[in-house]
Amino acid sequence: MNADVLVVGAGPAGLAAAVELRKLGAGRVLVVDRDEAAGGIPRHSAHTGFGARDLRRVLTGPAYARRYADAAAAAGADILLGTTMTGWDGPAPRGPHRVTLTSEAGVRAVDASAVLLATGCRERPRSARLVPGDRPPGVMTTGELQRRVYLAGQRLPGRALVVGAEHVSFSAMVTLAHAGARVLALITDRPRHTSYAGFALAASLRWRVPVWRSTMVRQVTGRGRLEGVELADTRTGAARFVPCDVVVFTGDWIPDHELARTAGLAMDPGTRGPAVDTALETSVPGVFAAGNLVHAAETADVAALGGRHAARGIAEFLRRGADGGRAAAGGRGPAPGGARLPLTAEPPLRWVAPNLLRAGGPAPPRGRFILRSDVFARLARLEVRQDGRRLATVPSFGIRPDRPVRLSASWTGRADPGGGPVTVRLA
Amino acid sequence: MTGATETGDARPADVAIIGAGVVGTAIARALACQDVSCVLIDAANDVGTGTSKANTAILHTGFDAVPGSLESRLLRRGSALLADYARRAGIPVERTGALLVAWTPEQQAELPTIADKARRNGVTDVHPIGAGELYRREPHLGPGALGALVIPGESIICPWTTPLAYATQALAAGARLRLRSRVTGIRVGRAEHQVVTGTGVVRCRWVVNAAGLHSDTIDAMMGGGRFTIRPRRGELIVFDKLARALLSSILLPVPTARTKGVLVAPTVYGNVLLGPTAEDLPDREDVATTAAGLTGLMAAGRRILPRLAGEEVTATYAGLRAATADRDYQIDVDPARRYACVAGIRSTGLSASLGIAEHVTGLLADAGLHLAGRPEPDPPVMPYIGQAGPRPYQDAARIAADPEYGRIVCHCERVTRGEIRDALAGPLPPADTDGLRRRTRVLNGRCQGFYCAATVSALFARGAPAPARAARAAAGAATAEPA
């Protein structure tokens, strides 16, 4: 089996890319997803708020997922579901890329001229956060909660605690309420929540759910059955036991980067996804990455717009021909237009995406870089520097952890393609 | 579902084995294969749920045992038997070898003593290497290592499949399994004993005490009371498979008077294990992890293999080892009371299990228990859940014959619907999703259920065999009896 483009992941980024690729005449576009249905995470996010930036309308998650799945099919993309990419014969700089797909139809090899990784992200589970104590059932992530409630129709009566106070935490709260749970509180070790003020207000007024700030989970208790958790005040250390029947660990995203890493793509230490340039091309020519694999986690519409952006880069790559003149340069050589400079974020900024600059490269998706901060800052300046030289200073308002910090790309022309790494810092 | 379950049974069993851990199931297997009628009793809802499931999953050579001890002898014998049994039963084993790494001059000075001890334990292929060779073998090792002792025979093994294989074979040979049956008392009799459990009385001629952490309680019920179990908790951290490339051997600490140290080892599932801590506890069921334990392990891991700190943690857990004041195994047979005590196995039970079973069977025969004397039957072929060999999702022919092996449910561990279906329909089906986890690896991966927990729960609820469901409803009845 052959494809011009193999898209791995049928979430918003993958499907939006497939639609755009077909529009741009990319030929055979094959989308694979290990899940049994297309649409990705929005499929089980049964609240509204999806589609504002990409579709210019507001839909529920499932309606948004359906819309993209239908659009990709209508555009002529081939979508294989229940299909896992289980092998990759090493990325081939000169293409094509030979991959192995496993499904109930068997084990198949596929050759693709270009590959788009859109494998998304997941929440760190309790174990990865090193929360000690017993290991009873009833402790889960939002992803597991939503699949249990919205896809498997489970009820969860009892008292629930939500760990986290970012967008997804409020989503978990709504899901728990829908499943019949009484949500006691959202817990955050930060001094305040990091979602929209409206969400916190609605939680407090409509659901009577408070946000317990500066609070951490110190221990999980319950042998065989969850009894409750020990909470501690991060400022005073004061501890208290809160009995509950369900604990949902939300947010704390990590890209699903297994394929990217096993394929040997260069990784960005900040995002923990593959390093990508402003065209969303990775360290291997013809291999692109988009969506929450490269910025875990942004909203679905931002992921979709990233997918659309990557599609344009892929179409350009295919137009140039698979080797684009790079074979002569030893295959793994720089992309046309010169070397790529790393772009890194300095603490307390956590990451920046895209994180490679290429002279002559396109503007990043939506004309801006996205960053994450570990701290709150009401009024700050983002400073871009290279080799001790200031390239830009951009004011930034209302910086909060877990939320995007935007940096316009207007300064990229001032970076010296032959110079050192470019850094962004909070000034 | 019936059998020798109540006092009204026509005939008592020859042997009741209390404790269905790796040692109890190994003894049940050895006896059942010699036509001895036996009942295997456990308080839990599955075999291998105590110390047997939460350990370092290493198949030891016994190089560091006390020379001349029973433990040394049974470890050597047992690990050789198990290496062969595992190969034939499809129990995942990888002979990775171990490196006993010296980080201080004090530790380095210990290496010749340990090498000498290994040779006295019959492990003759140990040899020292210098720092250069050590870093060539393990380039990701943290700075400061001075040298190491190589123990080529040390292996990693699947601690879950092993007791399941023993129990499966015991059941096939006619043993009965009585789970969810906590022993509350034993009426020691002249002609027979009556073991009182939460689900009724088991009549038997002999009692074998393989109760691990509770073996002193059972021993007291038999009129012993010779020893006290001192549970020692060990906490462990499992790292993601992407960390597996950071090491090739088991990295052992050098035990010194001052510190015990922790090890870093690959697992047969393709992960990396860091641990254990060692903490004496009064509570025999406290397998909680602690902030201090996990923090200490992470710090140790960062020193041994710095790049571990940059990898994701998949799981944390704790197990309890059944230590006694004595340094050796406590194995003896009392023909007068028709009682065998198999205690103090601490942390080497998995490696020594077949050696222990062989030893106990011999002692019982000497004491008058009749064995059929037939040759060892072939082991059952267990579903392969290791990372080194081919799994069903990779097997095109198998998927062509049965597409359910191409439908991956658990993406992190690549477990298919076909494997889940097989486990639920097997001779020793799981009683809950934790049991399914130990049989298939489902839910064991980096996402810890983010993607598949809802599906797995639904498959389990739909596919759990009727006896298991009935057993759950009846709260306490046995879950698996021979057909």
- pLDDT band at residue B326 under the 50/70/90 scheme: confident
Say if the Cβ atoms of A262 and B451 lie within 8 Å.
Answer: no
Higher-scoring residue by pLDDT: B124, A327: B124
Exposure string of B24-45, with b = 16+ CB inside 10 Å and e = fewer, is bbbbbbbbbbbebbbbbbbbbb
pLDDT for B482 equals 30
**Interface probe with A: pick from B316, B409, B459, most Cβ of A within 10 Å:** B316
Q: How far is A150 from chain B (nearest CA, A)?
A: 10
Say if the Cβ atoms of A104 and B451 lie within 8 Å.
Answer: no
- pLDDT band at residue B465 under the 50/70/90 scheme: low
Q: What average pLDDT does range B103-125 have in this prediction? A: 96
Instruction: Please name the member of B241, B404, B458 whose beta carbon is closest to the beta carbon of A152.
Output: B458
Q: What average pLDDT does range B367-390 have in this prediction? A: 95
Say if the Cβ atoms of B453 and A154 lie within 8 Å.
Answer: no
Say yes or no to pLDDT of A268 above 70.
Answer: yes
Q: Does B281 touch chain A (CB under 8 A)?
A: no
- pLDDT band at residue B4 under the 50/70/90 scheme: very low
Say if the Cβ atoms of B406 and A133 lie within 8 Å.
Answer: no
Q: How far is A304 from chain B (nearest CA, A)?
A: 21
The share of chain B scoring above pLDDT 70, in percent, equals: 93
Higher-scoring residue by pLDDT: B77, B259: B77
What does the pLDDT look like over A133-177, one tens digit per residue?
A: 999 999 999 999 999 999 999 999 999 999 999 999 999 999 999
Instruction: Please name the member of B313, B317, B407 whose beta carbon is closest to the beta carbon of A104.
Output: B407
Say yes or no to pLDDT of A120 above 80.
Answer: yes
Task: Measure the CA–CA gap between A39 and A52, rounded to whole angstroms.
Answer: 17
Every domain of chain B with CATH number 3.30.9.10 lies at 98-152+232-322
- For A124, name the nearest residue in chain B, comparing CA atoms only: B447
- pLDDT band at residue B472 under the 50/70/90 scheme: very low
B residues 291-310 lying closer than 8 A (beta carbon) to A: 291, 293-295, 298
Residues of A in contact with B316 (CB under 8 A): 127, 130, 132
Q: How far is A329 from chain B (nearest CA, A)?
A: 31
Instruction: Please name the member of A105, A144, A254 whose beta carbon is closest to the beta carbon of B312.
Output: A254
The share of chain A scoring above pLDDT 70, in percent, equals: 96
Say yes or no to pLDDT of B3 above 70.
Answer: no
Q: What average pLDDT does range B187-203 have in this prediction? A: 96
Fold of domain B98-152+232-322: D-Amino Acid Oxidase; Chain A, domain 2 (3.30.9)
- pLDDT band at residue A324 under the 50/70/90 scheme: low
Q: Does B62 touch chain A (CB under 8 A)?
A: no
Say yes or no to pLDDT of A409 above 70.
Answer: yes
pLDDT for B323 equals 85
Q: What average pLDDT does range A220-246 have in this prediction? A: 97
- Between chain A and chain B, the number of residue pairs with CB atoms below 8 A apart is 115
Task: Measure the CA–CA gap between B121 and B453, rounded to whole angstroms.
Answer: 46
Q: How far is B454 from chain A (nearest CA, A)?
A: 5
Say yes or no to pLDDT of B31 above 50.
Answer: yes
Q: How far is A129 from chain B (nearest CA, A)?
A: 8
Arithmetic mean of pLDDT over chain A: 94
Fold of domain B392-474: Arc Repressor Mutant, subunit A (1.10.10)
Instruction: Please name the member of B447, B454, B458 whose beta carbon is closest to the beta carbon of A125.
Output: B447
Task: Measure the CA–CA gap between B147 and B104, rounded to whole angstroms.
Answer: 9
Q: How far is B399 from chain A (nearest CA, A)?
A: 6
Beta-bridge mates of residue A389: A386
Residues of A in contact with B396 (CB under 8 A): 106-107
Say yes or no to pLDDT of B7 above 90.
Answer: no
Least confident of A231-245, A334-348, A402-416, B342-356: A334-348
Every domain of chain B with CATH number 3.50.50.60 lies at 1-95+156-229+324-389
What does the pLDDT look like over B137-193, one tens digit per residue?
A: 999 999 999 999 999 999 999 999 999 999 999 999 999 999 999 999 999 999 999
pLDDT for B347 equals 87
**Interface probe with A: pick from B409, B447, B450, most Cβ of A within 10 Å:** B450
- Domain covering B1-95+156-229+324-389 assigned CATH 3.50.50.60 in the classification: yes
Q: What string of H, E and C letters represents the secondary structure of chain A?
A: CEEEEEEECCCHHHHHHHHHHHHCCCCCEEEECCCCCCCCHHHHCCCEEECCCCCCCCEEHHHHHHHHHHHHHHCCCEEECCCEEEEECCCCCCCCEEEEEEECCEEEEEEEEEEEECCCEEECCCHHHCCCECCCCCEEEHHHHHHHHHHCCCCCCEEEEEECCCHHHHHHHHHHHHCCEEEEEEECCCCCCCCCHHHHHHHHHCCCCCEECCEEEEEEECCCCCCEEEEEECCCCCEEEEECCEEEECCCEEECCHHHHHCCCCECCCCCCECCCCCCECCCCCEEECHHHCCCCCCHHHHHHHHHHHHHHHHHHHHHCCCCCCHHHCCCCCCCCCCEEEEEECCCEEEEECCEEECCCCCCHHHEEEEEECCCEEEEEEEEEECCEEEEEEEEEEECCCCCEEEECCCHHHCCCCCCCEEEEEC
Q: Does B400 touch chain A (CB under 8 A)?
A: yes
Say if the Cβ atoms of B406 and A219 lie within 8 Å.
Answer: no
Instruction: Please name the member of A125, A135, A261 whose beta carbon is closest to the beta carbon of B317.
Output: A135
Q: What average pLDDT does range A182-197 have in this prediction? A: 95
Say yes or no to pLDDT of B483 above 60.
Answer: no
pLDDT for A322 equals 55
pLDDT for A271 equals 98
- For B314, name the nearest residue in chain A, comparing CA atoms only: A128
Q: What is the pTM of this model?
A: 0.94
Every domain of chain B with CATH number 1.10.10 lies at 392-474
- For B245, name the nearest residue in chain A, comparing CA atoms only: A262
Arithmetic mean of pLDDT over chain B: 92
Instruction: Please name the member of A84, A123, A124 whose beta carbon is closest to the beta carbon of B408.
Output: A84
Exposure string of A135-164, with b = 16+ CB inside 10 Å and e = fewer, is bbbbbbbbbbbbbbbbbeeeebebbbbbbb
Q: Does B116 touch chain A (CB under 8 A)?
A: no
Q: What average pLDDT does range B340-354 have in this prediction? A: 95
Task: Measure the CA–CA gap between B176 and B214, rounded to whole angstroms.
Answer: 21
Say if the Cβ atoms of B294 and A261 lie within 8 Å.
Answer: no
Say if the Cβ atoms of B454 and A133 lie within 8 Å.
Answer: no
Say if the Cβ atoms of A104 and B314 lie within 8 Å.
Answer: no
Say if the Cβ atoms of B448 and A125 lie within 8 Å.
Answer: yes
In chain A the domains, ranked by start, together with CATH numbers, are 1-123+252-336 (3.50.50.60), 125-251 (3.50.50.60), 339-427 (no CATH)
Residues of A in contact with B448 (CB under 8 A): 125-128, 141
Q: What average pLDDT does range A361-382 have in this prediction? A: 96
pLDDT for B255 equals 84
The A-side interface with B (CB below 8 A) comprises 34-35, 82, 84, 86, 102-107, 122-128, 130, 132-135, 137, 140-141, 143-144, 147-148, 151-152, 154, 218-219, 221, 223, 254, 258, 261-262
- What do you get for the CA distance between the two ends of chain B, in Å? 8
- So what's the ipTM on this one? 0.94
Tokens of A4: 């011009």
Residues of A in contact with B403 (CB under 8 A): 104-106
Name which of B383, B388, B416 is nearest A106 in CA terms.
B416
